[in-house]
Amino acid sequence: MYYENNVQALQDIDFCVTQGEFVSIVGPSGCGKSTLIRIIAGLIDNYVGDVRVAEMTKTDEQPLALVFQEANLLPWRKTLDNVRLPLELAEVCENVQKEKSLAALDIVRLKDFAHAYPRELSGGMKMRVSLARALVTKPQLMLLDEPFSALDEITRQQLNEDLLRLWQQDQWTALFVTHNISEAVFLSSRIIVMSDRPGRIIADVAIPFSYPRT
Ligand code: ADP
Ligand code: ADP
């Protein structure tokens, strides 16, 4: 895949992820991790190749959801109204929007903050709202692009544990971009390693679980 300035971001990328896998993608800054995530998300279309994500039929469920490094909450909307946004866009009826959003806030332990504004929340809490907004659509595939890297080490570890707990509950498929190897080892059942110029996959390894999973 080439950007308009003729930078070749990716070359010969070929991999397949099984439903329910937690896959981390690691590699140096600039190796094309975000580009890969954006291609899978459908945000870039001038690439040569083929991306397939399982389709879902229900209108209030999405095949995939994205979580970025910034929580990207709308500051003028309360927590609950941020979480229900994707359901609103999918024209789900309002009672259901509310019910599902409260349930999503509950699983990230923020039900009590449903009526708070983003400015009232800590960085970690905002990120948990962002996770809830992604999970509310019941995605089959979660694309997470360095989601916690702006947070301090302790908050980050807490959120990694939250993420793993949520994944264990619902078993969506995760593609998690990070340049933190220990984080990748902690979270993943598989790690894809990329190198740069242009971005290629140089290793693809299964990880024995370092964390008790049920
Ligand atoms: P990573 O996420 O691994 O840091 P990126 O996917 O962001 O890598 O970038 C891969 C390569 O593509 C880098 O060389 C970067 O400079 C380049 N790149 C990223 N976005 C653009 C863009 N919009 N236009 C031109 N080049 C870009
Ligand atoms: P996180 O680990 O999500 O970053 P913090 O360590 O910032 O959370 O906050 C710990 C707890 O303190 C939160 O779960 C919340 O109950 C409370 N808290 C944090 N910020 C606020 C706030 N602005 N208003 C009310 N309670 C807060």
Concatenating the DSSP letter of every residue in 5-74 gives TS-B-B-S------TT-EEEEE--TTSSHHHHHHHHHTS----SS--------STT--SEEEE-SS----
Pocket test for ligand 1, best of 2, 5, 7 (most atoms within 8 A of CB): 7
Query: Across residues 167-186, what is the average pLDDT?
Result: 90
Work out the average pLDDT over 172-196. 92
How much is the pLDDT for 58?
A: 58
Give, using CA atoms, the residue closest to atom 24 of ligand 1: 3
Distant-in-sequence, close-in-space partners of 114: CB < 8 Å, separation ≥ 6 = 78, 79, 80, 101, 102, 105
For residue 111, the 8-state DSSP code is G
Task: Indicate whether this complex's ipTM tops 0.95.
Answer: no
Q: What is the pLDDT of residue 208?
A: 80
Q: Which of 35, 38, 179, 197 to mutate to test the pocket of ligand 1 (most atoms within 8 A of CB)?
A: 35
Ligand 2 pocket: which of 117, 121, 125 to mutate (most atoms within 8 A of CB): 125
User: Does residue 134 carry a pLDDT above 60?
Assistant: yes
Of 16-20, 29-33, 61-65, 196-200, the least confident:
61-65
Among 12, 36, 13, 1, which residue's Cα sits nearest to residue 176?
A: 36
At residue 77, the pLDDT reads 97
pLDDT bucket at 73, cuts 50 / 70 / 90: very high
64-98 in b/e form (b: 16+ CB < 10 A) is bbbbbbebebeeeebbbbbbbbbbeeeebeeeebb
Q: What pLDDT does residue 174 have? A: 94
- Say what the pLDDT of residue 53 is: 82
Task: Report the pLDDT value the prediction gives residue 57, as an integer from 0 to 100.
Answer: 55
Q: 35 C-alpha to center of ligand 1: Å?
A: 6
Ligand 1 atom 23: residue of nearest CA:
3
| pLDDT band, very low/low/confident/very high, at 55 (cuts 50, 70, 90) | low
The pTM score is: 0.83
Judged by its nearest atom, the ligand closest to the C-alpha of residue 10 is 1
Ligand 1 midpoint to CA 25 (Å): 15
Provide residues with CB under 6 Å of ligand 2.
120, 122-125, 128, 155, 158
Q: Residue 214: pLDDT band by 50, 70, 90 thresholds? A: very low
What is the rounded average pLDDT for all residues in the chain?
89
Ligand 1, pocket residues at CB < 6 Å: 3, 5, 7, 9, 27, 29-35
